[in-house]
Structure 1
């Protein structure tokens, strides 16, 4: 019996944790899996070990663990695999598989565009006086930080090459303040700040403070802050993709944003094509 265990980061603010739990609840009808549970890395219960235990108590023989994180960094590369290793020792008869974080996925850009347009941004009217500033959490993992740079480039191309700058709220640079300076040096008169966070929490409180400071410091510049990315309905598609992928045991190459793959999915009956190919091959063999 299959189970999917979603792993949220966990927040010191309960509001953030309940957002995660509610979001997983909302995915259940679309996820054709008998057992779906939620757990947290830190600051909230149940822990990963307890989450695994709950799945097995409910009769799971295969558990797919899905990190509800944007990028692969310390948590998803070290902490979660360590918890899976312990679970494998404790439950040798159960099969465990591990899904990917979001990383880069086409639906992510739909979410970013909708957050920006809710805030009044339009790529039609964008010019060199408009900048977008993405604000990441920041990591000590260079690979994770570099993913945000990839996203900023893809977002810029999608928005008719609007200038997209990068910043991080902690751990690494450029800081949010340095990000604003970069936008201003490039002639921005309007700056759209996009908090690249999942849920409301301490970081959003800090962003509100920063926004107030920028608004009073630069009275000739318009600052607009979008809602945090949050658990937007389009994220369901991404997490369901990741769960199905993990249960199927298929780790994909870096193809989620490949224009050829997206074109093929939109314009070709890919599965039908393979089926026909096999069918023809079968006749040749005969």
Structure 2
């Protein structure tokens, strides 16, 4: 029997855990696989090994792991594989197939555009976008955010898209805000490239509050959240992993 194990980043913030759980409930309604469980990389329970245990306890013989992560960095490259290896030792006969983070995908660009379009002010030739990534010491993170920014600029025809990060990489959030504040653009659309609410969103809100007296009009967009479009990406991954099994 097949199961899906969704792996969220995890947070100490109850609202963030609740958002992940609600999203998985929507996935369950859209995906016809009998066993579907949620677990977390860190900061919340159940952990990944426990998530696998729960799938097996319900009769799973094959577990498809879906990382609910935006980009491929340390969690996707190291933490999740290590946890799955531990789970495999506990359940030697279990087949485990692991998907990938959402990554640089056209659907992710569309989600950003959806969040920007929620603002009362539309993008125009006096607008710029500041895309804020979480940040990671993994060099792929900066490369991927830069690729998303380039595609966003192409798709919106906005004059300028800049990037900054909340941790580990430069430019920092402060540097990104300072650069935008010194620009000649009238409207600055600030887009947190984050999947869930929490401390990082509060940090962005606090920094922007100090800029309300600047010449620019600042528009803080919602974080990406567990957007309905993500279910389509998950369905595509499931289809690909199922085809891989058939071709094995």
Question: In the alignment, what sits opposite 2:177?
Answer: 180
Give SS of 2:150's match.
helix
CA distance in 1 between partners of 2:48 and 2:84 (Å): 9
The alignment status of 1:232 with 2:227, answered yes or no, reads yes
Question: In the alignment, what sits opposite 1:107?
Answer: 107
Aligned residues: 245
1:248 paired residue among 237, 243, 246: 243
Question: In the alignment, what sits opposite 1:64?
Answer: 64
Aligned pairs for 1:162-241 within 5 A: 162-216=159-213, 218=214, 220-241=215-236
CA distance in 2 between partners of 1:109 and 1:239 (Å): 16
Question: In the alignment, what sits opposite 2:55?
Answer: 55
Instruction: Give the CA deviation at 1:214.
Output: 1.7
The alignment status of 1:157 with 2:154, answered yes or no, reads yes
CA distance in 2 between partners of 1:161 and 1:189 (Å): 12
- Bigger mean CA offset, 81-90 vs 175-184: 175-184
The alignment status of 1:43 with 2:43, answered yes or no, reads yes
Question: Does the 8 Å CA contact 1:4/1:63 hold for their aligned counterparts?
Answer: yes
CA distance in 1 between partners of 2:70 and 2:132 (Å): 13
Query: Which residues of structure 1 form unaligned runs of 5+?
Result: 251-286
Question: In the alignment, what sits opposite 1:25?
Answer: 25
Question: Does the 8 Å CA contact 2:65/2:98 hold for their aligned counterparts?
Answer: yes
CA distance in 1 between partners of 2:182 and 2:242 (Å): 48
TM-score relative to the length of structure 2: 0.94
TM-score relative to the length of structure 1: 0.82
Give SS of 1:65's match.
strand
Query: Which residues of structure 2 form unaligned runs of 5+?
Result: none
The alignment status of 1:94 with 2:94, answered yes or no, reads yes
List per-residue Cα deviations over 1:259-278 (Å, max 9, x = no partner): xxxxxxxxxxxxxxxxxxxx
CA distance in 2 between partners of 1:243 and 1:121 (Å): 38
CA distance in 2 between partners of 1:214 and 1:245 (Å): 46
The alignment status of 1:120 with 2:115, answered yes or no, reads no
CA distance in 2 between partners of 1:168 and 1:191 (Å): 16
RMSD: 1.4
